[in-house]
Amino acid sequence: MINIIVAFPKMENGKSIKSILIKKGFSVHAVCSTGAQVLQHADLLGDGIVICAGRLPDMMYMQLREYLPRCFQMLVLAPANAWQEETAERVVCLTMPLKVHELLSTVEMMYCAQNQRRKKKSSHPKARSEKEKLTIHKAKEILMARNNMTEQEAHRYIQKCSMESGTSLTETAQMIISMM
């Protein structure tokens, strides 16, 4: 689920956008009226989409973009004359007055792009430290000696136990070492 934060100077406008998004199945984490509130929520969430007005009481959208974590995208809704000449990276702009179908299709597009980034990020396995590699190797040696397993069989056994128990490979290896 992608985190969405809505920010408009008038809370009624933010709540209207939120209700449109919720009716279409999106989850809105927060509705804010200032850039500072957006930044507080963004720090807690880590990534997502900010849908905001071009101008908030305490900052313009370009300032907010600078302070947001890099993994956030921004959708700015403002009159055509409110745009700065260059839009920043990860900023999508829609002109007011707003057409609901344009808002929904744009949020859907951003939602898909955010999901792809998440999948790409999680598809790269975290590299193990030397200590973790040593722990796994030691557990495999114990299994090979005690159960007459090959190294592949021992590794597969640790993987299977890890998946069944919902623990990491290293934690499972540590459990095997402590039991033996």
Q: Tell me: the pLDDT tens digits for 152-171?
A: 999 999 998 888 888 888 99
Domains, the chain, in order of start with CATH, read 4-123 (3.40.50.2300), 130-179 (1.10.10.10)
Residue ranges in the chain modelled with pLDDT below 70 = 82-89, 121-125
- What is the pTM (predicted TM-score) of this model? 0.66
Asked if residue 70 lies in contact with residue 46, where contact means CB atoms within 8 angstroms, the answer is no
The CA-based angle 16-21-26, given to 5 degrees, is: 150
pLDDT of amino acid 137: 93
How many other C-beta atoms can be found within 10 angstroms of the C-beta atom of residue 58? 15
Phi, psi dihedral angles at 27 (to 5 degrees): -105, 120
pLDDT of amino acid 127: 79
Q: Which residues of 75-112 are buried (b: 16+ CB within 10 A; e: fewer)?
A: bbbbeeebbeeeeeebbbbebeeeeeeebbebbeebbe
- Alpha-carbon distance 42 to 71, whole Å? 10
